[in-house]
A = this chain, B = another copy of it.
Amino acid sequence: MTAAEISTESAIFDAALRVFSRKGKDGARMQEIADEAGINKAMLHYYFRNKDSLYEAVFAHVIGRFFSEIDRAMLPGRPFVESMEGMIHVYMDMHAAQPEVARLWVQENLNGAPVARSLIERHRNADHPFGPHRLLARIREAADAGEIRAVDPVHLMMTVLGMTVMTFIATPTLSVFDPSLRIDSAAMIDARKRHIVEVLTHGITI
């Protein structure tokens, strides 16, 4: 790969991620992606056959990295609550650094998640250690051992997902009520982490 190739391709990738995460696959316009990447529209079709394959490439890349981060963050051998706290930090930091990833995933889901589903199926059939599956197993283990309450693993996963991801989805609306709620503020991300860990470990009762 030449330097030009790398910079052009990654410029397309970044622009596509941004536009797809804002507008979804159908709402995104190739022209808008080209403009944000600072290139000619024909370049998109030189590097990626068409809109569908560009979308799939971006989604697969971004979600793949995401899954391995989950995996990496889930250090075994420590008490579950402690491990979970670490995961939430990693998870929140990832999203804060690149909020487009969570948004792209949400767009996928709103559209029925056909690409995400086929990706997961492919991962499942491979014998890779796979982030979400390992996480679910870890939760079940902790619940079975009586280390935590007898929660349903998938529900807890959905809960953690909701509390973290919602931070990067709901701010355009919620910042009307509290203007300090900016996802580019380190203080706010920090406060959010503390809130999530606190509610998750103790709930809101005293």
On A, residues with C-beta under 8 Å from B are 21-29, 81, 103, 105-113, 116-117, 120-121, 124, 132-133, 136, 146, 148-149, 151-152, 154-159, 161-167, 169-174, 176-178, 181, 191-192, 195-196, 198-206
Contact = CB atoms under 8 A, between A and B. Distances in A.
A173 B148 CA distance: 25
Given A154-B178, A174-B154, A201 B198 contact: no
Contacts of A136: 177
Contact of A192 (B21, B155, B198): B155
A87 B81 CA distance: 28
Most buried by B among A25, A191, A195: A195
Given A148-B205, A163-B159, A173 B108 contact: yes
A158 B174 contact: yes
Contact of A162 (B27, B151, B165, B203): B165
